[in-house]
Amino acid sequence: MRSKLRLLLLSSGSLAAQNVIDALGERRERCLLIGVNSLEKSAGNFRCDVVFRVPPASSGAAYIDSIADIVRAERPDLVIPSRDDDVLALALLRERHTCIQSVLLTGTPATARMWEDKVETARFAARHGLPFAPTAENARDALALTAKHPLPLIGKPRAGNGSRGVVLLRSQAEIERAFEARPDLIAQPFLDPPANMQALIAPPEAGLPLFFSFPAAYQYIATVIVGPDGAVSEPITWLCTLVGGQSMEGTRCDDPQLLELGRAYGHAAAAEGWRGPLNIQLKRPAHGSYVAFEVNGRFSGGTAARTVLGFDEVGLAIKAFLPAVDFPLRTVPACDAIQKYVQSYPIPREGVEALRRSDRWVRADARSSDERV
């Protein structure tokens, strides 16, 4: 007989997976966490009770089939994607392995591809009349953007997250070179440039900085849960402060306009077949309304912070997708702001060796906590 809720975390070493675990808080004792990761030397693996080493998500069918095998063997109640690749992999798994009984926290393959591809996200927003940053997929369209939006533009991978591969395109020549060198590139306007932008991006005259980032950047977040029946939760909206591309502080922002925009994105996504978390990232230009520039269909690096702010998105997802499970929402002190503190976790030598040797590791004290371990 099962004694705990069985959660399977894909990419268990990722930042999003760590946020899911942190968001559980004291409810961690109610769960048996099964992790999968292609990297054995990752501290996040060993915050789980059981870990499997699998092929990288980039292997396509090999990754999907390995996840299907683990789901059939371990019979988790809920399978949670942590990276964009996982979102699409789960959607394809459901399509290719129709006998899977576990709940997969994802939507249709078509909607999963919308969040993975920023051009498709822009087209989705346009279909529903939702504000989204103009998005150019080639040099010609990027150059056309400069007629209405001042340089620099922001160049980023068409599929990517976490500021990886993001560049500032400071001139028409840079735009042309960037698109020639990177076929996966898209460009968007810099929606909220700092007042001293030109000084910040001027060519350095006293040496190239070893590290570069703006002193502080700000972005708005709207998050909802789309349930299995297409119902959309009430959103949480907040303003986060980014330092070096990492969210370090956050403040609730209960602006009715932003809340309504979060609902609108949630209902539009549900109408096209999306199910699960939906995370909308937005900017607010100095003289304008909110404009989204990216949408993710998964829990994110801000999930634990939003839980502390009073929006228990992990708990809400479990209640929506597993209504028969007794899993309380997390109780936290009322607050309007959070700060991020870093914590270190060990990478046990025996755990790494077990994954290298047999592709499986089990926490010693988890062996008798559930009949499937």
**In the structure, what pLDDT confidence band is assigned to residue 285 with cuts at 50, 70 and 90?**
confident
**Structural domain of 166:** 134-190
Query: What tens digit of pLDDT does each residue of 115-153 get?
Result: 999 999 999 999 999 999 999 999 999 999 999 999 999
Q: Are residues 335 and 348 in the same domain?
A: no
What is the structure's pLDDT at 219? 92
What is the structure's pLDDT at 8? 98
CATH of the domain at 140: 3.30.1490.20
**In the structure, what pLDDT confidence band is assigned to residue 370 with cuts at 50, 70 and 90?**
low
Task: Provide the percentage of residues in the chain whose pLDDT is more than 70.
Answer: 96
Whether residue 367 is predicted with pLDDT greater than 70 in this model: the reply is no
Q: Are residues 153 and 257 in the same domain?
A: no
Whether residue 278 is predicted with pLDDT greater than 60 in this model: the reply is yes
Query: What tens digit of pLDDT does each residue of 224-238 get?
Result: 999 999 999 999 999
Question: Which one is predicted more confidently, 95 or 195?
Answer: 95
Mean pLDDT of 17-25: 96
Give the span between the Cα atoms of 195 and 176, in whole angstroms.
26
Mean pLDDT of the chain: 92
Whether residue 357 is predicted with pLDDT greater than 70 in this model: the reply is yes
CATH of the domain at 59: 3.40.50.20
Residue 202 resides in a domain: no
CATH of the domain at 333: 3.30.470.20
Give the span between the Cα atoms of 203 and 37, in whole angstroms.
41
Q: Are residues 270 and 352 in the same domain?
A: no
What is the structure's pLDDT at 192? 85
**In the structure, what pLDDT confidence band is assigned to residue 216 with cuts at 50, 70 and 90?**
low
Residue 371 resides in a domain: no
Q: Are residues 171 and 289 in the same domain?
A: no
Question: Which one is predicted more confidently, 164 or 334?
Answer: 334
Whether residue 270 is predicted with pLDDT greater than 80 in this model: the reply is yes
What is the structure's pLDDT at 204? 79
**In the structure, what pLDDT confidence band is assigned to residue 373 with cuts at 50, 70 and 90?**
low
What is the structure's pLDDT at 142? 97
Residue 195 resides in a domain: no
What is the structure's pLDDT at 30? 95
**In the structure, what pLDDT confidence band is assigned to residue 79 with cuts at 50, 70 and 90?**
very high
Q: Are residues 158 and 244 in the same domain?
A: no
Residue 362 resides in a domain: yes
What is the structure's pLDDT at 48? 97
Mean pLDDT of 360-373: 73
Query: What tens digit of pLDDT does each residue of 304-329 get?
Result: 999 999 999 999 999 999 999 999 99
Q: Are residues 321 and 226 in the same domain?
A: yes
What is the structure's pLDDT at 358? 97
Q: Are residues 114 and 255 in the same domain?
A: yes
What is the structure's pLDDT at 2? 67
Residue 204 resides in a domain: no
Q: Are residues 257 and 121 in the same domain?
A: yes
Mean pLDDT of 77-95: 95
Residue 140 resides in a domain: yes
What is the structure's pLDDT at 368? 57
Q: Are residues 159 and 87 in the same domain?
A: no
Domain count, the chain: 3
What is the structure's pLDDT at 222? 97
Whether residue 281 is predicted with pLDDT greater than 70 in this model: the reply is yes
Mean pLDDT of 344-367: 92
Burial class of 100 by CB neighbour count within 10 A (0 to 12, 13 to 18, 19+): middle
Whether residue 51 is predicted with pLDDT greater than 80 in this model: the reply is yes
Whether residue 215 is predicted with pLDDT greater than 70 in this model: the reply is no
Mean pLDDT of 8-35: 96
Q: Are residues 277 and 226 in the same domain?
A: yes
What is the structure's pLDDT at 267? 98
What is the structure's pLDDT at 369? 56
Residue 243 resides in a domain: yes
Q: Are residues 265 and 325 in the same domain?
A: yes
Residue 144 resides in a domain: yes
Task: Provide the percentage of residues in the chain whose pLDDT is more than 90.
Answer: 77
Q: Are residues 220 and 73 in the same domain?
A: no
Collect all residues with Cβ–Cβ distance below 8 Å to 12 and sequence separation of at least 6: 33, 35, 36, 37, 42, 44, 45, 47, 48, 51, 82
